[in-house]
Structure 1
Amino acid sequence: MAKLTCESTPAIDRQLALMDAIELLSGKWKIVILRCLYLNGAMRFKDLQETAKGITPKVLSKELQQLEENLLLTRTVNNTKPITVTYTLTDHATETLPVIHALIEFGLKHRKQIKSKWL
């Protein structure tokens, strides 16, 4: 079996894939939004804003649009009076769940490490 180096095609492909994933989930709120939708199922804009405390309507709108463009959520306009819009995760988005769980676990361990250092 050939040794992989940073310059080899498989290594470059993996690096590009990593960069794609980071780009896709980058930002302060995208992972938080995905997690809210995992935990709560379909949600309306206002519900997402209340659940993701601290996010502004402008930023939430932008993040939702980017997640939809990247096929991670579906925006559904409901024929109600008044018209309501709900957001749900796509099947593709569920593949990010293990990544989100891993980040949460790392964050918990990291907080514990930092806290023990300063106490």
Structure 2
Amino acid sequence: MSAAKGVEDAIRMLEGRWKLVILFHLFGGTLLRFSDLERAIPAISQKMLIQQLRQMEVDGIVTRTVHHQVPPKVEYGLTDWGQSLCPALDALLKWAERR
């Protein structure tokens, strides 16, 4: 795979208005319920939050844990691979700050 193709694939996994915001809320090993994420990101619609979380789950960035109880409890967290994005995004932020 070429470097350009690799970058395209990485950007595709992170594109979307809300994915990076969701990631920042989940960094540090935090497990959050769907409602916690809704409260943390008030501008996102429920439909968009579900869509973004599902895409990140398919890409192997986010885990979804369903606790079978009443009412149902669903928690989201980062996979180890998803957590490994933290230093890369920190570097990107530092790069942008130097502008």
Same fold (TM over 0.5): yes
Provide structure 2 residue ranges, at least 5 long, that are not aligned to the other structure.
none
Aligned-residue RMSD, C-alpha: 1.7
How many residues matched? 99
- Displacement of 1:106 in angstroms is 3.9
TM-score by length of 1: 0.75
C-alpha spacing 1:58/1:71, structure 2 compared with 1 (3 Å): same
- Displacement of 1:109 in angstroms is 4.5
Separation (CA, whole Å) in 2 of partners of 1:107 and 1:46: 31
Q: Which residue of structure 2 aligns with residue 57 of structure 1? A: 46
- Displacement of 1:52 in angstroms is 1.8
Which has a greater percent of helix? 1
TM-score by length of 2: 0.89
Separation (CA, whole Å) in 2 of partners of 1:65 and 1:32: 15
Q: Which residue of structure 1 aligns with residue 88 of structure 2? A: 99
Separation (CA, whole Å) in 1 of partners of 2:72 and 2:32: 14
Provide structure 1 residue ranges, at least 5 long, that are not aligned to the other structure.
1-11, 111-119
Give yes or no for contact 2:64–2:77 (8 Å, CA) kept in 1: yes
Q: Secondary structure of the equivalent of 1:63?
A: helix
Which has the larger Rg?
1
Give yes or no for contact 1:36–1:52 (8 Å, CA) kept in 2: no
Name the stretch that deviates more: 83-92 or 36-45: 36-45
Match of 2:75 among 62, 86, 93: 86
Which has the higher relative contact order, 1 or 2, with Cα contacts under 8 A spaced 6 or more apart? 2
